Every structure is written in C-alpha cells, then in structure tokens.
Amino acid sequence: MSSQYRLMRERRFRPLFFTQFLGAFNDNVFKTALVTLVTFRAGQLTRVDPHTLATLLPGLFILPFFLFSATSGQLADKLEKSRIARAVKLFEIAVMSLAAWGFLANSLWQLVAALFLMGVHSTVFGPVKYGYLPQHLRQEELIGGNGLIEMGTFVAILLGEVLGAWLATIPRGALATSATVMGVAVLGWWVSRGIPNTPPVDPSLRIGANFAAETWRNLRFAYGNRVVWLSLLGISWFWFYGATLLAQFPVYAKDVLGGDESVFILLLTIFSLGIGAGSLLCERLSGHRVEIGLVPFGAIGLTLFGVDLYFSSASQQAGTGLHFTQFLNAPTHWRLLADIALLGLFGGFYIVPLYALIQTRSEKTHQSRIIAANNILNAAFMVVSALVSMLLFAAGLTIPQLFLATALFNAAVAGYIYTLVPEFLLRFLAWLLVHSVYRLEKAGLDSIPESGPAIVVCNHVSFVDPLVIMAGCPRPIRFLMDYRIFKTPIMSFVFREGRAIPIAPAKEDPVLMEKAFDEVEKALAAGELIGIFPEGRITDSGEMNPFRPGISRILERSPVPVVPLALRGLWGSFFSRKGGPAMSNPLRL
C-alpha cells in the first residue's frame, strides 16, 4: 500500500494542499498578531478589557461560518471548484490590504473588519476543500489525504501563530506584519492556479437567496443521515473543545504560568505539533481505511489529558514574565507540556476519521452541502464556546478550572454520541483487539462490494472472530449469530449494539429461526452487509465443520453476492477451543 506522502507529488492533491496551507498560515499570522497586540499591548489599540477581547475575537472570526456556510456549500456543489478557490484567493488579497491599513494606522476597527472578512474567506473555501478530496482521491486514500490536510493546517496554524506573535512584538512590527500578510495572500493565489478542474456535482442546483432558510435546509438534510449527523456533532464538539483551549492560551501563559509571549508561542507549538502528529499517524493506525474506532480512542485521550492539565496547572508556581527558556528549565512544567502535546495527539486521532467518514457516507451530489452543514455546526459550537467561557468566568472559575470542566464535558458528550451510534464503540473494541492482542494482516478485502447487499462467509475459529472481521471489513457488517451468545452479559452488549441477528436451531426455537431469516432478508433488501459462519459453531479441532443449510436458505430468498473469507492464526489463541474450553488459559493469547 502506497504511503500518503505520495499524494504530495501529485497535481490532484499538491496545489490544493498548499493553497489550504498558505490560507491557514495567513489567517493565523494575522489573527495571532492581533490577539498578541490585544493581550500584551492593549493600550496601543483600545481601552476594552484584553481578557474579554481575547475571548470575543475568535468568535468574531468564526461568525461568518454560521451565517454564510449554507450558501458556500451550494456554490461548491453547483460550480467548478478550482474557479471558486482562485476567486477566494483574490478576495484574500483585498482583505489583507484592509488588514495592512489597520496595522499601519494602529486602528482596531479596520483590523476587526478584516478579521470578520477572513472568516468569510475561510467559510467559502471550506466546502471546496473537503468536497474536492472525495472527487480526486480513492476511498483508501481519503484517511491519508485528510490526515495530510489536517497536519498541514495545524502546522500552518503553528507557524502562523509563532510568526504573528513575533511580528507583533518587534520594532516596526506593523510594517513587517502588513508586508507578510499581503505577500502570503498573493502567493496563495498563485498556487491556487494549479488546482485541477473539478466538475460540479449538481450544476442545475438553484442558489437560494435566503441564507437563513438555506441554513435550515442544509441542517435538515444532514440530519437525515444519522451516522453523518452525529459525526458532524462530534466534529463540532471537537472545535468547541479546541476553541476553548486556544482562546485562553494567551492569558493562561501570562497570568497562570507567569510567562511572556514566548511561553504563549511554546504552548501553541506543542499543541499544534501534537495535532499534526496525530493526524499523520491516523493512516498507519487505521490501515489505509476510514477507521472510526480511532474516534473513541481520541475522545478518551482528550478527557484524560484535559483533566491532568488542570492538576498540572494547579501545581504551577507562576513567575513574572518568564522567557520560554526559563520556563523549560523548571521540571514541573514538563508534565504540563506533555498534557498539551497529548491533547493535540489524541485530537488528531479524533478528528481525521470523522472528516473521512462524512466524505464517504454522505451522498455524492450533496457532499459540499454536508460540509457546509458541518461548518454551520462548528461555528455555532465555537460561538457557544466563547459564551460558555465568559459565563463560567463570571461564575468565578479560573482558566485551569475551565479546562477541567471542558474535559469532563467531553466525556459526557462522547458517551452520549456512542450510545446513539454504537458502531463507533464497536469499531473501537475491534481496533483495540487487533492493535493490542493480535496483529491483523489483510489480503483480498477489495472483493467486498463498496455498497449494496452481500454476504460474507467465514470459518469459525474463536469467540473473537466477529471482532476481527469487523476490524478488517471496510463496511459495517451485521452478523447472524447463535442466540446463546446473547445470554452472556458482555458479549450480549457488544453484539446487540452491533445489530447482530440472533438465530436458534429449528428444534430449539423455530419461531426465532424464522424471525432471523426474515431479518436477514430485510437487511439485504436494504443494501446491508451480512456476516455468517456457515459451520454454525466454533471448531473444536482446528478443522472446518460441515456447512449448515442456513446459507442456502438465505440465498434462495435473497440471491446476492457471496464473499468467502478465511481466518488464520487464531487457532490456539486464548479465545479458541484448542486444548479445552475457550478462555480457560490466561497464558495463551
């Protein structure tokens, strides 16, 4: 399997990557220069409380996502995407001209207007970017492509924030910042000229003039696909979490940690590198597939290390104006930095599979509008993040306590989503099994149809066979299983949540058997994938048992493709019956 980095050499991906990279970089040079001025040199621009401004400014940037995402999604579905990208880059040049005026004139209001307009710029480009990927990348490339985009975005954020904070503090910083944002905007337009043509997916689409009505229509359409809708909510929650952290980093570095601007830059660097590393690792951990089992793994890390960030913050003894080199000299700070790095790492595990999932599970003619719905929700959650932060501060919470509350909220939100869509949790259990106990090697799985009804038949070696197959199968799969499995507490939870279909022998429960065949017929008619162990039982000898007649009955009622699979290497494991009952010898894995 080719590495994701191969995409960086190909025209179908490279120009889009660098257009996105330069746009994110310029956004953050500008935003961070503005926030740094407000936080550390507020008297030069305004008399408004810097704590309030630092919380409100990010909300102002994402407000256009809430207002104009629906129209942006329609444009991306109706028009050729490379033309939109180039128009957006020309708009960026105009906006950065306004920002340069604000920096040079030392005027807050021009800068605030430019911040809002850069939000408009990013709003229009978002559906183009994520709608473009599934049109140019194969399904097995999507997780790697999204990982590269997310890595590039956060590296661009990191570099832009570092450069923006530095430019805001040097002599003649206003001139240097103005020249930088203008130069990067022009470079972004030049790079965008290389993006290949991308045919519109719905050229007959009528653009609605009422953005409120179109916003509502987009959300209703996304709501119609349960898995996609809850994935959008999961992504939006991540941006709530991330916006809460990032909005407080400047004041946190100054007031809690006692650092100067360099400590703020250090925190941004650590977090951004963590996100980039997690995004890139997704392809390796997922095996070149859209592995949503990584999402619960990421959520666990976001909670654990968010909680520990509170405790590591509470142990800090703040200095006064510490440079980052002085900050790093204190051993107590390393735990805090590790928490921030791991928050970024697990954030990458969380966010990349969700983006790939909505690209593969949404209707092809509506992908950009689904991304637009995602942006609408993201914007709403980030605006709410700013409001919730202000309310909690008004209630007397400190910044570390805000971090703790957000981490605990994360556990509650994740648990709620996984109870609504058990597929996330089941894929996590399957992923955990094959990455902790076993090493899964796969071959020939491209024989499983990408869509439509089919039956997967496989030899039955151990009690974990369904989880192993689930971990390797590129699609959700429903298993036909012996009803006695559902009487075991843990196994019952796992397979009921996975919508497994219980079946009993005719001599024990003929009604349940007929009900099972009816349910299989219904599932196949709905285009689902069914998994069957045609032997009807786990092997006692390591050899296959004779097939039962169930598979023939199913095919008589539903003549669909049959895909044979073979499991090897599980005979003799802890979960097999070699040498006696399964799971009786803990020394045998």
Q: What is the CATH number of the domain that holds 61?
A: 1.20.1250.20
User: Residue 458 has which token pair?
Assistant: 């496989």
Strand partners, 322: 259
Residues in the chain: 589
Residue (of 81, 317, 96) closest to 199 by Cα position:
81
- Please check whether residue 104 lies inside any domain of the structure: yes
DSSP 440-460: ----SGGGS-SSS-EEEEE--
- Please, where are the H alpha helices in 193-225? 211-223
CA distance linking residue 441 with residue 571, whole number of Å: 15
Considering the domain architecture, whether residues 421 and 459 belong to the same structural domain is answered as no
Evaluate whether residue 69 is within a structural domain.
yes
Q: Which DSSP string do the residues of 519-574 spell out, in sequence order?
A: HHHHHHHTT-EEEE-TTSS--SSSSPPPPPTHHHHHHHH----EEEE---S-TTST
| Residues 366, 456 share a domain | no
Separation of alpha carbons 332 and 555, rounded Å? 65
pLDDT confidence of residue 295: 82
Residue type, 87: A
Same-domain pairing of 109 and 44: yes
**CA pair distance 388, 380, nearest whole angstrom:** 12
Which three-class secondary structure state does DSSP give residue 259?
A: strand
In a domain, 580, yes or no: no
Let me know whether 306 and 446 are in one domain.
Answer: no
Q: Are 149 and 17 in contact (CB under 8 A)?
A: yes
Which CATH number characterizes residue 452's domain? Answer: 3.40.1130.10
- Same domain? For 425 and 444 the reply is no
- The three-state DSSP-derived secondary structure of 467-512 is HHHHHHCCCCCEEEEEHHHHHCHHHHHHHHHCCCEEECCCCCCHHH
Q: Is residue 177 part of a domain?
A: yes
Indicate whether 405 and 481 sit together in one domain.
no
Last residue in a domain, options 405, 434, 463 = 434
> In terms of Cα–Cα distance, which of 431, 412, 433, 411 is closest to 423?
431
Contact, 546 vs 439, CB < 8 A?
no
Pair (54, 126) in one structural domain: yes
At 304, list the tokens: 């654990």
C-alpha span between 275 and 294 (Å, rounded): 14
Q: Which of 434, 459, 485 is the last residue of a domain?
A: 434
Do 428 and 487 sit in the same domain of this protein? no
Among 502, 429, 503, smallest CA distance to 470 is for 429
| Within-domain flag for 583 | no
In a domain, 238, yes or no: yes
> What tens-digit pLDDT sequence spans the chain (589 residues)?
456 778 888 888 899 999 999 999 999 899 888 877 776 655 555 555 656 666 677 667 877 877 888 888 888 888 888 999 999 999 999 999 999 998 888 777 888 889 999 989 988 888 888 788 888 888 777 777 888 888 888 788 878 878 887 888 788 878 999 999 999 999 999 999 999 988 888 888 887 767 777 778 778 877 877 778 888 888 889 889 988 888 888 888 888 888 877 888 888 888 888 888 888 887 777 666 666 777 888 888 999 999 999 988 876 665 577 778 878 887 778 888 999 999 999 988 888 888 877 877 777 767 777 888 888 888 888 888 888 888 998 888 888 899 999 999 998 888 877 776 666 777 777 676 666 666 777 777 778 887 789 999 988 888 778 878 887 777 788 888 888 877 776 666 667 777 888 888 878 888 888 898 899 899 899 888 898 988 888 888 778 888 888 888 888 888 898 989 888 877 777 777 776 666 666 555 5
The number of folded domains in the chain is 2
Where is the domain boundary, 403, 434, 465? Answer: 434
| Sequence-distant (≥ 6) Cβ neighbours of residue 125 within 8 angstroms | 20, 23, 84, 85, 88
Range of the domain at 471: 439-565
Q: Torsion-angle region of residue 536: left (phi > 0), alpha (psi -120 to 50) or beta?
A: left
Q: Do 228 and 304 belong to one domain?
A: yes
Considering the domain architecture, whether residues 373 and 389 belong to the same structural domain is answered as yes
Q: What is the pLDDT of residue 178?
A: 92
Distance CA 216, CA 218 (A): 5
pTM: 0.72
Q: Is 531 helix (H, G, I), strand (E, B) or coil?
A: strand
Q: Which two tokens stand for residue 430?
A: 């399957």
What residue type is assigned to position 316 of the chain?
Answer: Q
Question: What are the helix (H) ranges across 80-138?
Answer: 81-105, 108-136
Residues 329 and 471 in one domain: no
CA 531 to CA 560: how far, in whole Å? 13
Same structural domain, 176 and 44: yes
- Asked if residue 98 lies in contact with residue 230, where contact means CB atoms within 8 angstroms, the answer is no
Nearest Cα neighbor of 69 from 376, 358, 366, 367 is: 376
Whether residue 552 is contained in a domain is answered as: yes
Residue 138, Cβ density class (10 Å: 0-12 exposed, 13-18 middle, ≥19 buried): exposed
pLDDT at 1: 47
- Alpha carbons within 13 A on the beta-carbon side of 553: 14
For residue 160, give the H/E element and its range.
helix 139-167
Question: How many beta carbons lie within 10 A of that of residue 159, not counting itself?
Answer: 18
Q: What is the pLDDT of residue 303?
A: 92
| Residue 259: inside a domain | yes
